[in-house]
Structure 1
Amino acid sequence: MNRAGQHRSPELRGLELALLALPVAALPHAWHQPPWVTLLVAAAILLRTWLHLRDRRPPALGLMALLAAFAGAMTFLQYGTLFGQEAGTALLLVMMALKLLETRNRRDIVIGLFLGYFVVVTTYFFDQSLLIAAWSLLSAWLLTAALVQVHAGRALERWRLAKQSGWMIVHALPFMLILFLAFPRVQGPLWGDPQRDEVATTALSGELNPGDIAELLQDQTTAMRVQFHDTVPPPPAQYWRALVMTDFDGRRWQAEGGQSSIEVPEADDPDNVVAYTATLEPTRVRYLPVLDYPVSLPDNAEYRDNHQVIRDRRIVNRIQYDAEADLSRPPGGEEALSSSARERALELPPSAAPRSRAEVALWRATHGDDDRAIIQAALDRFAAAPYRYTLQPPTLAGDVTDQFLFETQAGYCEHYASAFAVLMRSAGIPTRVVTGYQGGEWMQRGEYLRLRNADAHAWNEVWLDGEGWIRVDPTAAIAPERIEAGIGGLTGGEGESVPDFLRRDGLGWVQQLRFGFEDWRDFARFRWESWVLAFDPERQRELFAHFGLDATDWRDVVTALGAGFGLLAVAALAWAGWRRPRRPLDAADRLLQRLSRRIERQQTGLGRHAHEPVVTWTRRIKAARPDLAPIVDAFAEHYNLARFAPARPDDRAGHLMALRRLAASDLRKPPVGQPAPRTT
């Protein structure tokens, strides 16, 4: 057999589509794999395409074995293993490409296409966006079309392949939905990577240095999205608590550790309770940002005595949780602050902020034991010139508190929160720093609040006997627009630039159009993330509970799967029955129905049954109504000739005319002694 004969044999039918489908399936991996993997896959596919177009034989098996060994060795050198998320995916990609390169028959094409399906699945190890989901459907569509062509007995038209494979994908979607909802969910990533789990992706870390939050101003990455069930709190009330920091070393604040869990307090005023659902991006830490002050939390979260909310495990996937907050007042006012907690909330390094301590001593001498007056004195200092709220704070050296208060006098929220805490502790008022998010952007399309990393914020809490921990935000004194309108309310000082995503007013139509597109894209991404990516084991348990089932009980899981597939089977049967083609009634059949209805009206029970042959029906009529014998005999004769006898169109028209006349005949019973009417 010559080369062309081998190449064009039916054994290689479908290779052209495989050469298109497999690169499409592998393309998203180009952004996540080492360059040598991408180059090797591209070279193998291009070489196989060239061999196919030139009617050349694929490389010898010995050469393919060497290439496979080279790919395995390179993978091991790159990752130190042949298993795991990244190494396994790289090895799968190169083996798929090499299998396509050595294709000699139908079996090789089928194996390569099935490897392509696995390549599509591994895409979700690295990216789970809506765009990747759409690309996966396109890849599956092309792979299925190639499989249909491989198993077809002849070359099919492109439109027929596209239609058939598309319908196969559509028919598979209900099965996918049932498995998605009912199959047991896996907690955490599909294939864990311990090294990645150690890296936090959140904007907020466990410590706070002057300037840390200011650096986040340029970061428009979404941190979380919130849907309120009923009432939307005003922006000044939108404080999302994340971390509480008490320990201070003179420059840096660190989050508290070792707090005990307490019961979530009940709401004092139900009218001030706000219920919401938050969709949180992966942070790889345990804390949950919640609206101050929480009165209801998800089951897998703990409420600590510093009012911080901790989850039972690190957040390595996008999660969704429901909570409620009481906006009326902070909890704990009826309790006394323990001596250890008071001492910790008053601790300062001995040499920290000497100038600040001296000024606070004057405040205390002036106001005596009035802690509220001391607090107001600090806020008045910040509100007066020359203090300013800047998006580009200067670098601080030496004693950061004194330098900020007496020299630079310009900073971002964490500068004011840190300095305020030092002033209050110097005055003997227990104070701590709280970090989280404040404000956000209300997305009218979708009606949800979008919090970016740029919305990170720092504020303070002071302890007042009889009232508990009271929120005090120094930013509200120096830049009230930051609190009233969120980060978007800032305009920047002289010579300062504000990112476009923070100020949309006054921008050109091109920028406005771009932001409109961004809003639509964020809305689509939010729906995808909240409905699909955030469907974790907790959400699945809630869904099962609505139907009285337990998602952790395998019997209930089997019941849910059986019910889902059973409903799908019923729906498929109903659809098939509705879509079943129905033969239109022939003109002779319509006349037969007309005569049957007229006779039924004359005498109940003489109408023709659906299953009854015309001859049997006429025999039954003649037995009950001998006077109708001439009419029904003539009708049966013309009906059979019109429906079943091969005849010219003119002959059929004559029979139909006779049927119309007979169907309209007088069916009244003749008087006794008179003969029945005759019809020819």
Structure 2
Amino acid sequence: MSASTSQLQALLPRESLLWIFAAQLAVLLPHTIHLPIWLLGAWAVAVYWRLEVFRGRREMPGRLVKLVAVALVVAGLVLTYRRWFALEPMVALLAVSFTLKNIELVSRRDALLSLMLAYFLAATLFVFEQTIPYALYGIVCVVIITAALVAQLGRRSARPGRALGLSVKLLAQAIPVMLVLFVVMPRLGPLWAVPQNTQAASTGISDSMSPGDFSELSKSDKPALRISFNGAVPPPEQRYWRGLVYTHFDGRRWSEPGAADGYPRWGRGRSNQRPFGDDGHGDSAERALPAVGPRYRYQVIQEASHNPWLFALARPHSETRGVRETGDDTLVYRTPVGSRLAYEVRSWPRDTVTDGVRLSASEQRRHLQLPASGNPRARAWARARFEEGLDGAAISQALLSLYNRSFTYTLKPPPLGRDTVDEFLFSTRQGFCEHFASSYVFTMRAAGVPARVVAGYQGGEWVEQQEYLLVRQYDAHAWAEIWLPERGWVRVDPTASVAPERIRDGLQSAAAEEFMQDAFLPLHKIAFVSRLRLQWDMVNYRWYQTVVSFDSQRQEGLLRRLMGEISPLRMAMFIGIPVLGALLLLLVWLKLSSRGPALPATSRLYLRFCQRMARAGLPRIPGETPGDYAHRIARELPRLGPMAARITAAYERAAYADDGLAEKQLRRLVRGFWPMRLSAQPRKPV
């Protein structure tokens, strides 16, 4: 057996085991957010068993015990996950193999394999999140894992200071290579796609709406969207970020078409949806959009919602891969949005685009659907307006006038009973945006006007320093659209008739006394904390723009700015010159380090004292002991004698008695010892 093989097969000492377990724990801890907690318990049991083996209280587990352990964890995975081909089960399976390795952790070969798995498991953290805290924690994990690798070299290397110090040095030397690879490595798409867990809790707007849903969202100030514009920015009253269209009403809840049958919008074929093309987005030829004229160009960075719908202004068109347009004037992604997603959008204001089409009979039925019974007073009011001969626009104006005269905007409306629309219109007359949108669409349909509810976000906070619009969860909003034959779909926001400040200035202005009233810590009322949170959001925005969303297009733009032209020769020079420089520095470092082992700190300090004495004109004679040298200094340079004696005494205690306090004293004395050149001063005869 070779020397390297015998070294790998050597039994693991206690320090090596502790470093391995520390690295494993650091990697597993953040995964407890996404993976079942019993995995951490299984890891603790495996570690306990291995430590008992080290103490000699147990034997290494045999084949039967290993089979039982494998069967138990596999059964746990089967009971935890219903669908195996998804992201969370795959990572959980990796964590299980990583955990079970501890019960057969015997040699250094096993240790190296376990630590390689730790690197891989640390990388899977960024499959779930790419935020700054995760990035910093990932760096900490890599430092600890590398220190655990260093600790496998021997007992001296396992000391915490030495292991961590060498780990930081190794990773610091790898930073230039990492930066070069980050810039020049081709940005390839995934070779395969593993879907995320669809059972994950969704955030934000759901695929249905009933009274009270949006008031719950108003209690959250978490970011939902960050939008940067290339050119004009729409005024506040035009910032309607539509995401879902509700057309089915069961008497209390509005939902998407097909949701009542158990089929979500993105999973059921509809004639007015555009299928994905070969490039992953919809075919814009199906939709007549002007090549010139008023429009908005912008990029949306959407937070994870675990839902497939995206948010954009009306008349959206996106060429981002995986994004498609629907006939309901919205955007959807090909999979649920499990992490931050950036997509480019162009939107045309509806006043500049003519639909040029009529509603089909099926579309009219869909947008006039109402339950067979319920809310008789609202139906009677709508029928009366219709019998008066009013058209759709006039009926809408009459209903909006009713809202403006008699209704109150509040985040805490009274509860509604069975006939929600009647009670709201003719009794309570207090509500939130979904109350107004729901009652408006119901009444317009009862009057024979096609109408639908639109859900999304409205408004947003303009961040001047970074020039982007920050939309939070409490900006969630619901409004209505009605079909007018001469104009097509027209947006109508009943909330604006009651509380125009909600549209113009945001929710905090419209409901100042009720805004975030139920928050456990009302941090929004503290100006300093609000500024800090906004600064942190700007840092996150810049992080995502610069690092996370550094795709092939941005990479190509950066390389063109650096090299002028992308060619094989220039790429080779761009990569080769830094690599050659790093190799030269490495050769110089090896040359300097080959001169001999590094001196202890106490010897280096005393050597510095001797060098300064030599510059003062009294060098140390080869073979002269420190004590003799101090006596000679006292005879020839009496002014320096006392200081030389103190330095020598501190050096001898630190070097020979291993006195830590003496080493600190020696460092302090040498730092302040700057003798004058006294070669011209007459010396006493020896």
Structures share a fold, TM > 0.5? yes
Distance 1:300 1:99 in 2: 39
Match of 2:371 among 343, 349, 352: 349
- Percent identity reads 31
Match of 1:60 in 2: 59
CA distance in 1, matches of 2:244, 2:318: 18
Distance between the aligned counterparts of 2:168 and 2:573, measured in 1? 24
Are 1:246 and 1:344, in contact at CA under 8 Å, matched by a contact in 2? Answer: yes
Is the 2:451–2:481 Cα contact (8 Å) retained in structure 1?
yes
Shift in Å at residue 498 of structure 1? Answer: 3.1
Q: Is the 8 A contact 1:391 1:492 kept in 2?
A: no
With over 3 angstroms needed to count, the CA separation of the structure-2 counterparts of 1:445 and 1:44, relative to structure 1, is farther
Deviation string, structure 1 residues 108-133 (Cα, Å, up to 9, x no partner): 43233223223323434554443222
Rounded Cα–Cα distance in structure 2 between residues aligned with 1:560 and 1:182: 14
**Are 1:192 and 2:195 matched, yes or no?**
yes
What SS is found at the alignment partner of 2:448?
coil
* Paired residue secondary structure (1:227): strand
Q: What is the aligned counterpart of 2:496 among 443, 452, 476?
A: 476
Aligned to 2:153: 151
CA gap 1:57/1:198 in 2 versus in 1, 3 angstroms: closer
Aligned to 1:672: none
Alpha-carbon offset, residue 410 of structure 1: 1.4
Q: How many angstroms apart in 2 are the aligned matches of 1:544 and 1:497? A: 45
Matches within 5 A, 1:364-443: 364=386, 368-385=389-406, 387-443=407-463
Equivalence for 2:235: 234
Cα deviation, residue 245, structure 1: 2.4
CA distance in 2, matches of 1:524, 1:137: 18
- Deviation of 1:471 after TM superposition, in Å, equals 0.9
1:115 to 2:117 alignment: yes
RMSD: 4.0
Matches of 1:329 and 1:98 in 2, distance apart? 64
Q: Aligned partners of 1:302 and 1:34: how far apart in 2?
A: 34
Shift of 1:86: 5.0
In structure 2, the residue matched to 1:498 is 517
State whether residues 16 and 151 of structure 2, in contact with CA within 8 Å, keep that contact through their aligned partners in structure 1: yes
SS at match of 1:225: strand
The alignment partner of 1:291 has SS state of: coil
Indicate how the Cα distance of structure 1 residues 121 and 64 shifts in structure 2: closer, same or farther if over 3 A, else same: farther
Counterparts of 1:520 and 1:48, CA distance in 2? 47
Q: Which amino acid aligns with 2:576?
A: A
* Distance (whole Å) between structure 1 residues aligned to residue 440 and residue 120 of structure 2: 57
Residues 14 and 150, structure 1, Cα contact 8 Å, conserved in 2? yes
Distance 1:111 1:422, change over 3 A: closer
Name which of 289, 307, 312 aligns with 2:311: 289
Cα displacement (A) at 1:482: 1.2
In 2, distance between residues paired with 1:299 and 1:45?
45
Number of residue equivalences: 547
Tell me the equivalent position of 1:245: 246
- Is it true that 1:263 corresponds to 2:286 in the alignment? yes
Is 1:522 equivalent to 2:537 in the alignment?
yes
Q: Tell me if structure 1 keeps the 8 A contact 2:248–2:256.
A: yes
Q: CA deviation at 1:383?
A: 0.9
**Contact 1:207/1:252 (CA < 8 Å) preserved in 2?**
yes
SS, match of residue 186 in structure 1? coil
Is 312-321 or 234-243 further displaced after alignment? 312-321
Question: Taking structure 1 as reference, are residues 503 and 109 closer, same or farther at Cα in structure 2, changes over 3 Å only?
Answer: closer
Mark the CA change 1:39 to 1:198 in structure 2 (over 3 Å): closer, same or farther: closer
Question: What's the counterpart of residue 71 of structure 1?
Answer: 69
Q: Deviations over 1:38-76 (max 9, x none)?
A: 234335546766887xxx458422x36565344323212
The one-letter code sitting in structure 1 at the alignment partner of 2:240 is Y
Please state how far the C-alpha of 1:20 moved relative to its aligned partner. Answer: 3.5
In the TM superposition, residue 407 of structure 1 has moved relative to its aligned partner by 1.2
Decide whether aligned partners of structure 1 residues 41 and 369 sit closer, same or farther in structure 2, where only a CA change above 3 A counts.
Answer: closer
* Cα displacement (A) at 1:442: 2.9
In the alignment, the residues of structure 2 paired with residue 51 and residue 437 of structure 1 have an alpha-carbon distance, to the nearest angstrom, of 59
Using the TM superposition, give the Cα deviation of residue 466 of structure 1 relative to its aligned residue in structure 2, in angstroms: 2.2
2:346 to 324, 341, 356: 324
Secondary structure of the corresponding residue to residue 247 of structure 2 = strand
1:504 is displaced (CA, Å) by 6.8
Give the superposition deviation at 1:456: 1.7
Partner of 1:571: 578
- Spell out, residue by residue over 1:504-551, the C-alpha distance to the aligned partner (whole angstroms, 9 max, x if none): 77x3xxx4444344334333333444455556xxx4467569989xxx
Q: Which amino acid aligns with 2:113?
A: I
Q: Name the SS of the counterpart of 2:251 in structure 1.
A: coil
User: Structure 1's 155 and 79: CA in aligned 2 closer, same or farther, altered over 3 A?
Assistant: closer
Deviation digits for residues 365-414 of structure 1, max 9, x if unmatched? 55x345433222111100112x1112122322222211211112111111
Distance 1:162 1:547, change over 3 A: closer
Contact 1:264 1:296 in 2 (8 A): no
Residue aligned with 1:348, SS: coil
Q: CA deviation at 1:255?
A: 2.2
Hey, what does 2:603 align to over in structure 1?
none
User: Is the Cα–Cα contact under 8 Å of residues 96 and 116 in structure 1 kept in the other structure?
Assistant: yes
Whether the 8 Å contact between 1:318 and 1:534 is mirrored in structure 2 is: no
Q: Which of 22, 28, 31 is matched with 1:29 structurally?
A: 31
Distance in 2 (CA, whole Å) between partners of 1:514 and 1:64 is 58
Residue 624 (structure 1) aligns with: none
Alpha carbons of 1:579 and 1:74: their partners in 2 closer, same or farther (altered >3 Å)? closer
Q: 1:276 aligned to 2:279?
A: no
Deviates more, 1:229-238 or 1:511-520: 511-520
Shift of 1:492: 5.4
What amino acid does structure 2 have at the position aligned with 1:569?
G
C-alpha distance in 1 between matches for 2:441 and 2:200: 30
SS at match of 2:152: helix
Query: Which one has a bigger Cα radius of gyration?
Result: 1
Quick one: which amino acid aligns to residue 134 of structure 2? Answer: I
Do the aligned partners of 2:410 and 2:511 also contact (CA within 8 Å) in 1? no
Q: Return closer, same or farther for 1:166/1:44 CA change in 2, 3 Å cut-off.
A: same
Q: After TM superposition, give the deviation of residue 226 of structure 1 in Å.
A: 1.4
Check conservation: 2:151, 2:159, Cα contact below 8 A.
no
Larger mean Cα displacement after TM superposition, 64-73 or 392-401 = 64-73
AA aligned opposite 1:206: D
- Structure 2 counterpart SS, 1:298: coil
State the TM-score, normalizing by the size of structure 1: 0.69
Amino acid at match of 1:522: D
Distance in 2 between residues matched to 1:573 and 1:236, nearest whole Å: 58
CA distance in 1, matches of 2:572, 2:287: 41
Q: Which letter does structure 1 place at the counterpart of 2:211?
A: P
Match of 1:381, as an amino acid? L
Q: Which residue of the partner structure matches residue 211 of structure 1? A: 212
- On the 8 A contact 1:58/1:103 being kept in 2, the answer is no
Deviation of 1:139 (Å) = 1.5
8 Å CA contact 2:516–2:522 kept in 1: the answer is: no
Contact 1:417 1:473 in 2 (8 A): yes
Structure 1, unpaired ranges of 5+: 1-5, 549-558, 583-680
Shift of 1:448: 2.3
Output the CA distance in 1 between the equivalents of 2:250 and 2:313.
Answer: 29
Deviation at 1:164, TM superposition (A): 3.6
* Within-5 A mapping of 1:478-627: 478-491=498-511, 498=517, 507=525, 511-534=526-549, 539-540=551-552, 567-574=574-581
**Aligned residues of 1:141 and 1:169 also touching (Cα < 8 A):** yes
